[in-house]
């Protein structure tokens, strides 16, 4: 937030702003110069903010009625569904809201991958984003445990057991996590506490994420640095506000469809059976948004290495800005990267699919190939591509490709050959 010489008009405003520059902040947020060529993939940041706030508000309301106790949790959820006024609505928004949150975050992440938004000077934004994503997974996993259904219980058992793979101290860590010798009431109460805490950590990180974004400003579909403000930018308000609002409404229609007409389609039927430590479900599957990583976990025959592979699959994203050696941000000007990008998208979807299937036979083979390719993409293809790929001419400004036949084209070509 540099170059701000904003001064409120009123005396009171000036007095207040000299002491706490909230009005300067508000002015910065409304005037914030934004590339005018942002497409709808860029609206998911706003959508994600909406998702976070929705989860917090509905979650607080649910917490007023929910009882975190192994003997009463399942019943209290049924109490919410039946007897609390609009309890069913609040719970279905919260449960489907988690899925919507992940749907939006995956689009947001893959947008960043396509347009190279993680590259300099935006590495910190990206890394904060990855931390938020990790916290989201932790919050979602613990939230899924709270209704204390069969999938809650067995999902918690499987995932916490992963820590036992750590040599020497693994078993001790698992007992410590559980607060006992199996998943039981102490596990439930601590998961509830953490599930309550994490969203506020995420909220804090979101503020940092946006702050870090406002230093260099948005990337854009062309992926070039632009002058700000200039004729390539529009003020955030009203242009981006209304566009984000429009996209958010479209998103809310999809969201509402799930909440009102298919509220249980994304969940698992077994979670309507109360947790029973004596009966193991036929297939223990996590929620859909964790399936790709579950597939990676199961594709490695060794337990410890499986856990390492799963964690690396996420953490590898944090070093992505340094693995991708190409100076060109947007895939629009990287014909080869563009193809590899779509192969990666397909690879992750395939991982998600086999993650939901039993880990045997052909499914296991596919999972292994897809896992290997996932790491190949980040560790080999991306670093090599930056040196080998012949990129397309990059325009000098956003206005250029729109107007066409620009005199800058020759200059752009020159610039590109220098990069090569």
Stretch that binds other proteins, among 52-60, 177-185, 232-240, 382-390 (CB under 8 A): 232-240
Coil, helix or strand at residue 149: strand
Considering the complex, state which of residue 35 and residue 199 has its C-beta at the smaller distance from other proteins.
35
User: For residue 272, with 0-12 CB atoms within 10 Å meaning exposed, 13-18 middle and 19 or more buried, which class applies?
Assistant: middle
Nearest to 248 by CA among 53, 401, 115: 53
Q: For other proteins, how many residues bind (rule: CB under 8 A)?
A: 54
Residue 39 lies near other proteins (rule: CB under 8 A): yes
Nearest to 240 by CA among 205, 214, 203: 214
Considering the complex, state which of residue 144 and residue 163 has its C-beta at the smaller distance from other proteins.
144
Half-sphere exposure of 106 (CA within 13 A, CB side): 16
Among 211, 246, 322, 342, binds other proteins (CB under 8 A): 246
- The 86-115 contact track toward other proteins, x by CB under 8 A, reads --xx--x----------x---x--------
Stretch that binds other proteins, among 207-215, 263-271, 364-372, 379-387 (CB under 8 A): 263-271
Among 15, 176, 211, 257, binds other proteins (CB under 8 A): 257
Helical packing angle, 335-355 and 361-376, nearest 10°: 150
Cβ of 267: how many Cβ atoms within 10 Å? 20
Cβ of 76: how many Cβ atoms within 10 Å? 19
Q: Which residues contact 367 (CB under 8 A, 6 or more apart)?
A: 295, 296, 298, 299, 351, 354, 355, 359
Residue 21 lies near other proteins (rule: CB under 8 A): no
Stretch that binds other proteins, among 64-72, 197-205, 332-340, 356-364 (CB under 8 A): 356-364
| Alpha carbon distances (Å) from 244 to 46, 116, 247, 252, 381 | 6, 21, 5, 12, 34
Residue 71 lies near other proteins (rule: CB under 8 A): no
CA–CA separation, 409 and 73 (whole Å): 65
- Here the tokens at position 172 are 């001790």
Considering the complex, state which of residue 17 and residue 76 has its C-beta at the smaller distance from other proteins.
76
385-396 CB burial, b ≥16 within 10 A, e <16: bbeebebebbbb
Residue 249 lies near other proteins (rule: CB under 8 A): yes
Among 153, 288, 333, 374, binds other proteins (CB under 8 A): 288
- The 312-351 contact track toward other proteins, x by CB under 8 A, reads -------------------------------------x--
Q: What is the CA radius of gyration of the chain?
A: 24
β-bridge mates for residue 53, sequence order: none
Residue 78 lies near other proteins (rule: CB under 8 A): yes
Residue 245 lies near other proteins (rule: CB under 8 A): yes
Residue 12 lies near other proteins (rule: CB under 8 A): no
Residue 266 lies near other proteins (rule: CB under 8 A): yes
Q: Which residues bind other proteins (CB under 8 A)?
A: 36-37, 39-41, 75, 78-79, 81-82, 88-89, 92, 103, 107, 234, 238-239, 242-243, 245-247, 249-250, 252-254, 256-257, 259-261, 263-266, 268-270, 272-273, 282-283, 285, 288, 291, 349, 352-353, 356-358, 402
């Amino acid at each position: 937030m540099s170059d701000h010489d904003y001064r409120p008009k009123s005396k009171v405003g000036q007095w207040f702003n000299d002491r706490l520059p909230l009005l300067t902040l508000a002015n910065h947020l409304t005037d914030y110069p934004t590339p005018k060529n942002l497409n709808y993939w860029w609206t998911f940041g706003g959508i994600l903010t909406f998702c976070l706030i929705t989860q917090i508000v509905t979650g607080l309301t649910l917490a007023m009625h929910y009882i975190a106790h192994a003997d009463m949790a399942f019943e209290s959820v049924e109490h919410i569904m039946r007897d609390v006024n609009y309890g069913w609505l609040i719970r279905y928004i919260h449960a489907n809201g988690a899925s919507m949150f992940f749907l939006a975050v995956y689009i947001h992440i893959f947008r960043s991958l396509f347009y190279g938004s993680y590259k300099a000077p935006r590495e910190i934004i990206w890394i904060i984003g990855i931390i938020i994503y990790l916290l989201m997974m932790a919050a979602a996993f613990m939230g899924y445990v709270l209704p204390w259904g069969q999938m809650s219980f067995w999902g918690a058992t499987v995932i916490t057991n992963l820590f036992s793979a750590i040599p020497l101290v693994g078993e001790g860590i698992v007992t410590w996590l559980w607060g006992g010798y199996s998943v039981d009431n102490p596990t439930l109460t601590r998961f509830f506490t953490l599930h309550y805490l994490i969203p506020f950590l995420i909220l804090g990180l979101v503020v940092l994420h946006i702050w870090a974004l406002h230093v260099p400003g948005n990337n854009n579909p062309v992926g070039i640095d632009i002058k700000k403000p200039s004729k390539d930018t529009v003020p955030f308000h009203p242009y981006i506000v209304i566009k984000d609002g429009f996209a958010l409404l479209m998103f809310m229609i999809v969201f509402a469809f799930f909440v009102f007409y298919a509220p249980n389609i994304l969940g698992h039927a077994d979670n309507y059976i109360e947790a029973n430590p004596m009966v193991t479900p036929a297939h223990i599957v996590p929620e859909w948004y964790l399936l790709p990583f579950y597939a990676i976990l199961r594709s490695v025959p060794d337990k410890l290495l499986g856990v390492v592979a799963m964690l690396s699959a996420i953490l590898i994203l944090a070093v992505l800005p340094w693995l991708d050696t190409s100076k060109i941000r947007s895939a629009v000007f990287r014909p080869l990267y563009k193809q590899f990008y779509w192969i990666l998208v397909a690879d992750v979807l395939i991982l998600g699919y086999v993650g939901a299937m039993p880990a045997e036979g052909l499914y296991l083979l596919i999972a292994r190939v897809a896992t290997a390719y996932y790491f190949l993409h980040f560790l080999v293809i991306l670093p090599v591509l930056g040196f080998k790929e012949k990129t397309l001419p990059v325009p000098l400004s956003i206005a250029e490709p729109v107007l066409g036949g620009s005199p800058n084209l020759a200059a752009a070509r020159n610039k590109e050959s220098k990069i090569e």
